[in-house]
Amino acid sequence: MGKTIIISNRLPIQLQIHNGSITAIPSVGGLATGMKSVHSGGDSLWIGWSGLTDEEIPEELVGDIDAALAKHGSSKVNLSQQEVDGFYYGFSNRTVWPLFHYFLEYAEFEIDSWETYKKVNQKFADAIVEKAADDDTIWVHDYQLMLVPQMVREKLPNISIGFFLHIPFPSFEIFRTLPWRKEVLEGLLGSDLIGFHTYDYERHFLSSVRRILGLDVSFNDVYLEDRIIKVDSFPMGIDYKKFSEAAKVHNQLPPEKQSELQQRLNNHKQSTPDAKFLLSIDRLDYTKGIAKRLNAFEYFLTKYPQYKEKVRLIILAVPSRSNVPQYQLLKREVDELVGRINGEFSTVSWTPIWYFYRSMPFENLIDLYTSCDIAWLTPIRDGMNLVAKEYVATRTDKTGVLILSEMAGAANEMNESLLINPNNFEQIADTIHQAIEMPIEEQQERNDILQKRLERYNVERWAKDFMSSLKEQKDNSSSYVSR
């Protein structure tokens, strides 16, 4: 049994350069946590971009950086600014991201960025081939690297390759608009196992494979001349224990140990006992429906004026891809909407929206999750949405209501939440009203079921399921003779 090689666009490490010395800080994101059980030191390697372009890395520090990454079982792919622009900000985030989230009008089809995407995917594949042996297992992550499986397969025909897509796979009617649809499918089919968050994404992919490539598809297997590729769904979970335990500790903190944010939230609750906090947390991305949510909130305050001065919406928007024009426009739109709604409804003692545009440390995230009565997440499209799961995991007394868009992959597993269509303002306003008035016992019943499910299907289980399915597939496929 060989080693496992994980490949993602970004390494799970933050590099900092200070006065000529390097610090490598492991990230705490969902993927890094989930892969802990797979990426356990000695027998695994993580390959990715460090986040610093060639131009940003002083030549004399290259060796030190490589050594610092090696200590964390990581190895970097070097990218120039021009490559990052074409591959990441270009094809990945101006073509694939909007297209796969059904924002066809935002998708740009630029031959130059496609060429850079191919070139950079080849760089990742070469980095793998350089480090890999035939009995290793390769796990490629996400939409930035869809050509890598086939590029590796060409050099190492017998190696075991898994691919997981973290965003939706769109329906055939959308996917077929991509000029390079055939190449992308062929790239992915270099894998032995292709995983998606939901059954729908899996079916969409298989439909495109059949209709665009004309391949033989049976149930969830794709038949090539010499190999079978399995396509399946693996809904990603969270590190349930980390969130529930952090919330337990947090709830027992004496006032002097609480963060400033926590104290403010508590003070507000004490001064207005029937006050309710609604929470919305996302990256500032047009797929997350933040502007629509603000409009819906305005509609809610107009339809249910009895909640004025009682309900407050806390919006935490994490800066993201701010050099892509649509993200700059969205930032302006959200700033204006918050200003307009606060201007229209505020009173001397009440501001309806608190808006934070920044990333927050984990402790503050827990402050918000544990203090807010309702989490209101209304993406227009979302591969999964981990925030929904994290919110539920922190509700240690099982109170709290989750309002979730049907368009998030997470909705498939979270039927006990209040599911809404993000375009239906009438339904949203009524659902917020329902959430505010929901009896505690009903909240607890719903969260009890959700929590048990999230605890069982946590992120570690997700990674293990994927890896064992990949192994099984490889074993079965080895004995396959072309039909």
Residues forming contacts to ligand ADQ in the complex (CB under 6 A) are 30, 166-167, 236, 281, 283, 316, 318, 359-360, 365, 382-387, 390
Question: Closest Cα partner for 151 from 114, 184, 196?
Answer: 184
The nearer residue to ligand ADQ, 160 or 385, going by C-beta atoms, is 385
Q: Which is nearer to ligand ADQ, 166 or 395 (CB)?
A: 166
Minimum Å gap between C-beta 32 and ligand ADQ is 10
Nearer to ligand ADQ, 9 or 75 (CB): 9
**Smallest gap, in angstroms, from Cβ of residue 98 to ligand ADQ?**
13
Residue nearer to ligand ADQ on the CB measure, 217 or 368: 368
Is residue 97 a contact partner of residue 58, using CB atoms and an 8 Å limit?
Answer: no
Q: In angstroms, what is the minimal distance from the CB of 430 to ligand ADQ?
A: 25
**How far is residue 436's CA from residue 442's CA, in Å, rounded to a whole number?**
12
Residue partners of 77: CB distance under 8 A and separation at least 6: 47, 48, 49, 120, 123, 124, 127
Closest CA to 5 of 475, 483, 480, 470: 470
User: Least separation, in Å, of the C-beta of 369 and ligand ADQ?
Assistant: 9
Q: Which is nearer to ligand ADQ, 228 or 379 (CB)?
A: 379
Paired with 410 in beta bridges are none
Asked if residue 338 lies in contact with residue 355, where contact means CB atoms within 8 angstroms, the answer is: yes
Q: Which is nearer to ligand ADQ, 373 or 382 (CB)?
A: 382
Residue 365 CB, shortest distance to ligand ADQ, in Å, is 6
Q: Give whichever of 153 and 197 is closer to ligand ADQ, judged by the CB atom.
A: 197
CB of 404 to ligand ADQ, least distance (A): 11
What's the token pair of residue 337?
């909407």
Q: How far is the CB of 190 from ligand ADQ (least distance, A)?
A: 21
Residues 188, 169: Cα–Cα separation, whole Å: 12
Going from the C-alpha of 158 to that of each of 174, 193, 405, the distances in angstroms are 33, 14, 42
Cα separation, 372 vs 387, whole angstroms: 13
DSSP conformation class of 347 = B
- Encoding tokens for residue 244? 């529930």
E strands within 153-302? 160-164, 193-196, 216-218, 221-223, 228-233, 276-283
Q: Which of 42, 43, 48 is nearest to 27 (CA)?
A: 48
Q: Which is nearer to ligand ADQ, 75 or 144 (CB)?
A: 144
Grouping H, G, I as helix, E, B as strand and the rest as coil, residue 363 is helix
Dihedral, CA of residue 207, residue 146, residue 317 and residue 29, to nearest 10: 120
Least distance to ligand ADQ from the beta carbon of 450, Å? 16
**Shortest Å, Cβ 414 to ligand ADQ:** 12
**Residues 235, 196 contacting (CB under 8 angstroms):** no
Closest distance of CB 455 from ligand ADQ, Å = 17
Phi, psi (rounded to 5 degrees) for 181: -60, -40
C-alpha atoms less than 13 angstroms from C-alpha of 301 in its C-beta half-sphere: 20
Strands 276-283 and 374-377 turn out to be parallel
